[in-house]
Amino acid sequence: MHCPFCRHADSRVIDSRTAEDGMSIRRRRQCPSCGRRFTTLETSSLTVVKRSGATEAFSRDKVVAGVRKACQGRPVSDDDLALLAQQVEEAVRASGSAQIDAHEIGLAILGPLRDLDEVAYLRFASVYSSFASLEDFEAAIGALRAGHDGAGTDDHLPTSDTAAGAADGAGRTAADGGPEDQAGRSGVR
Ligand SMILES: [Zn+2]
Bridge-based pairing of strands 47-49 and 37-43 is unpaired
Where are the extended beta strands (E) located within the chain? 12-18, 24-30, 37-43, 47-49, 55-57, 99-101
pLDDT at residue 44 tops 90:
no
SS3 99: strand
CA of 22 to the centre of ligand 1 (A): 29
pLDDT at residue 23 tops 90:
no
Amino acid at 43: T
Show Cβ contacts of residue 167 under 8 Å, excluding neighbours closer than 6 positions: none
CA of 6 to the centre of ligand 1 (A): 4
d(CA 90, CA 70): 21
pLDDT at residue 173 tops 50:
no
CA of 134 to the centre of ligand 1 (A): 63
CA of 148 to the centre of ligand 1 (A): 59
**pLDDT value, residue 169:** 41
CA of 30 to the centre of ligand 1 (A): 8
Listed range (88-97, 107-116, 150-159) with the worst mean pLDDT? 150-159
**What's the DSSP call for residue 177?**
S
**pLDDT value, residue 150:** 60
CA of 43 to the centre of ligand 1 (A): 23
SS3 20: coil
CA of 13 to the centre of ligand 1 (A): 13
**pLDDT value, residue 2:** 86
CA of 5 to the centre of ligand 1 (A): 5
CA of 11 to the centre of ligand 1 (A): 8
DSSP β-bridge partners for residue 42: 25
CA of 40 to the centre of ligand 1 (A): 14
Alpha-carbon dihedral angle through residues 170, 174, 180, 182, given to the nearest 10 degrees? 130
Amino acid at 113: L
pLDDT digits (tens, 9 = 90+) for 118-145: 999 999 999 888 888 889 989 999 999 9
